[in-house]
Amino acid sequence: MTSLSVYSAAAVVLAAGKGTRMKSARHKVLHRLAGKSMLWHVLTALRGAGIPPERTTIVIGDGAAPVRSEVERDFPDALYPFVLQEPQLGTGHAVLTARPAVPTDAETIVVAYGDTPLLRAETVTALLEQRARDDSNGIPVTLVTGVLENPQDLGRILRGTDGALQEIVEFRDASPEQRAVCEVNSGFCAFRAAWLWDALPRVQPARSGEIYLTSLAERAVSSGAGAGSLLLDQIGEAVGVNTRPQQAEAEQILRARIAAHLMAHGVTLQDPATTYLDASVEVGRDSVILAGTHLLGSTRIGADCEIGPNAYVRDSVVADGCRIFLSVVDGAELDRDVTVGPFAHLRPGARCGRGVEVGTGSEIKASTLGAGSKMHHFGYLGDAKLGVNVNVGAGTVTCNFDGERKHATRIGDGAFVGSGTLLVAPVSVGTRALTGAGSVVTKDVANGAKVAGVPARAIGARERPEARKDSTDGDDARPST
- Examine the domain organization and report whether 261 and 204 are in the same domain: no
* 327 and 382 together in one domain: yes
Output phi, psi for 343, to 5 deg: 60, 35
* Domain limit, last residue, from 187, 215, 242: 242
Domain that holds residue 382: 245-467
Question: Does residue 83 fall inside a structural domain?
Answer: yes
Q: What angle do CA 260, 262, 268 make, to 5 degrees?
A: 95
Measured between its terminal Cα atoms, the distance across the chain in Å is 71
Residue 17 lies in a domain: yes
pLDDT of residue 471: 40
Please state, in angstroms and as integers, the Cα–Cα distance from residue 83 to each residue in 15, 66, 307, 308, 312, following that order. 10, 14, 44, 45, 39
Please give the average per-residue pLDDT across 158-168, as a whole number.
86
Lowest pLDDT segment from 118-127, 229-238, 325-334: 229-238
348 and 232, same domain (yes or no) = no
- CATH of residue 442's domain is 2.160.10.10
Where among 242, 263, 298 does a domain terminate? 242
Count of other CB atoms within 10 angstroms of residue 4:
12
- Domain endpoint, select from 192, 222, 242: 242
Would residue 475 count as lying in a domain? Answer: no
pLDDT over 90 (residue 392): yes
Let me know whether 199 and 314 are in one domain: no
pLDDT in tens, 297-328: 999 999 999 999 999 999 999 999 999 999 99
Do 363 and 284 lie in one domain? The reply is yes
Prior bond of 205 cis (ω within 30°): no
The SS3 assignment for 120 reads coil
DSSP character string of 451-481: EETTTTEEEEEPPPGGG-TT---TTS-TTT-
Same domain assignment for residues 213 and 347: no
Tell me: do 189 and 251 sit in the same domain.
no
> Up-side HSE of residue 397: CA atoms within 13 Å toward CB?
9
Clarify whether residues 93 and 231 are in a common domain.
yes
Residue 411 in any domain: the answer is: yes
Three-state SS letters, 1-16? CHHHHHHCEEEEEECC
Selecting among 93, 294, 377, 407, the annotated active-site residue is 377
Quote the pLDDT of residue 191. 97
Its pTM stands at 0.88
Residue 270 per-residue DSSP state:
S
Number of domains present in the structure of the chain: 2
**Same domain, yes or no: 46 and 135:** yes
Do 236 and 255 share a domain, yes or no? no
In a domain, 390, yes or no: yes
Task: Give the pLDDT confidence of 442-465 residue by residue, as tens digits.
Answer: 999 999 999 999 999 999 998 765
The pLDDT value given to residue 170? 81
DSSP label at residue 255: H
- The yes-or-no answer on residue 377 being catalytic is yes
CATH number of the domain where residue 228 is located: 3.90.550.10
Asked if pLDDT for residue 242 goes beyond 50, the answer is yes
Is residue 203 in a domain? yes
Cβ-Cβ contacts under 8 Å for 249 (sequence gap 6 or more): none
Q: Are residues 258 and 220 in the same domain?
A: no
Distance, in Å, from the CA atom of 143 to the CA atom of 186, rounded to the nearest integer, reads 8
User: What is the sign, positive or negative, of the torsion defined by CA atoms of 429, 433, 438, 440?
Assistant: negative
Question: How many angstroms separate the CA atoms of 254 and 250, rounded?
Answer: 6
User: Looking at residue 103, what is its pLDDT?
Assistant: 96
Query: What confidence tens digit (pLDDT) does each residue in 345-385 have?
Result: 999 999 999 999 999 999 999 999 999 999 999 999 999 99
